[in-house]
Structures are given as C-alpha cells and as structure tokens.
Amino acid sequence: MVRRATRVTGVSALDRTLGQLPAEIGKRVLTNGVRAGARVVRDEIRDAAPIRQDTRAIRKSARSNKGRLAGFLKASVRTATRKDTPFSVTIAVTIGQACYGMFLEFGTRHFPARPFIRPAFDRSGGAALAKIGVSLGRGIERAAKKLAGSFEKSGLKRKRRRR
C-alpha cells in the first residue's frame, strides 16, 4: 500500500474546537469531513482508471467467470474507513478486487508502469483538502447549534440574579 503524508496547518485550532464537542459528536464530524475529502480523490481516480477496449476479450469475459468486464477496475475503486482512536480516522481509497490495478500503477518486469492513481491524487489533493475544511466547518457549526438547542430546551439556562 502506498501512503502519502500531507502537511496541514491549523490542526491545533481544529483540535481545540473538536475537543469542546462531546467525543462521539467530534469523532462523527471528523470522520464525515475526512470521508468527504476521500470521495473527491476516489472520484478522480475513477475518472483516470484505464478501461479495456478489446471487444473480443470483453465478449469472452462476459460468457465466462474467468475474465473481467471492461470498467471493472473503475468500478472497484472504493473508500474504506477504519476508526483508530477517539480523534483519529483512517480512510483509504482502495482498488478492491481489481488486483491488476497495482500492476498497471507500478508495472512489472515485463510490463511498463502506466500510473493513474498517483497522478489523480496529485490533481485532486488541493480540492480534497478544501472539501475537508468546508465539511469540518459545516459539521462543527451544525453540532454546536444542535448542542445549543438541546441546552436551551433542558431548562439549565437561567438568568443569574445580581445582588
């Protein structure tokens, strides 16, 4: 599996803001935000995935279970979520059952590399980070409004008397 680290600024402010929310709500907001960014990358990889054009192979694979239909690699690109710790989420974009995607991306000793995942990630990285930021902002605002509404309904908000 290829991993790529990206440096993001403002994480300490985000951590403080998420820390003010209850743990379950903060984790949900974080997960939804990162998942939204992963969908942007996933869609870009799907658009870049090569599709087999050999019609005889397509017809043959349609009759038997041994071959794959055209577009199988494109349809196999998915996002997977693994929740690690209370404020840590790992979301991976995988190629699932289409194991030959790895050979297309990196090549073999008989077959030159035709990368499509890395260039797609490079093209969509900025848009994914922007989508994560927007989604986190909306999620935090929505959670804060919801908590404020439940606090007012509880009757705990009372005016203090001045002496």
Is position 157 within any domain? no
Q: Which of 14-18, 84-88, 129-133 has the lowest mean pLDDT?
A: 84-88
Q: In this structure, how many other beta carbons lie within 10 angstroms of the beta carbon of residue 118?
A: 15
100 belongs to a structural domain: yes
Contact 115, 121 (CB under 8 A): no
CA dihedral sign of residues 2, 7, 10, 15 = positive
Q: How many domains does the chain have?
A: 1
Q: At residue 134, does pLDDT exceed 70? A: yes
pLDDT of residue 69: 65
Q: Is residue 117 included in any domain, yes or no?
A: yes
Q: Residue 155: left if φ>0, alpha if ψ -120 to 50, beta else—which one?
A: left
Q: Are 120 and 44 in contact (CB under 8 A)?
A: yes
Asked whether residue 67 is assigned to any structural domain, the reply reads no
Residue with tokens 């995607």: 101
CB-based burial of residue 33 (10 Å sphere; 0-12 exposed, 13-18 middle, 19+ buried)? buried
Residue pLDDT, tens place only, 51-95: 877 656 555 555 555 555 667 888 888 888 776 665 566 777 777
Per the structure, the complete domain to which residue 92 belongs is given by 22-50+78-142
Whole-model pTM: value is 0.69
The answer, yes or no, to whether residue 148 has pLDDT greater than 80, is: no
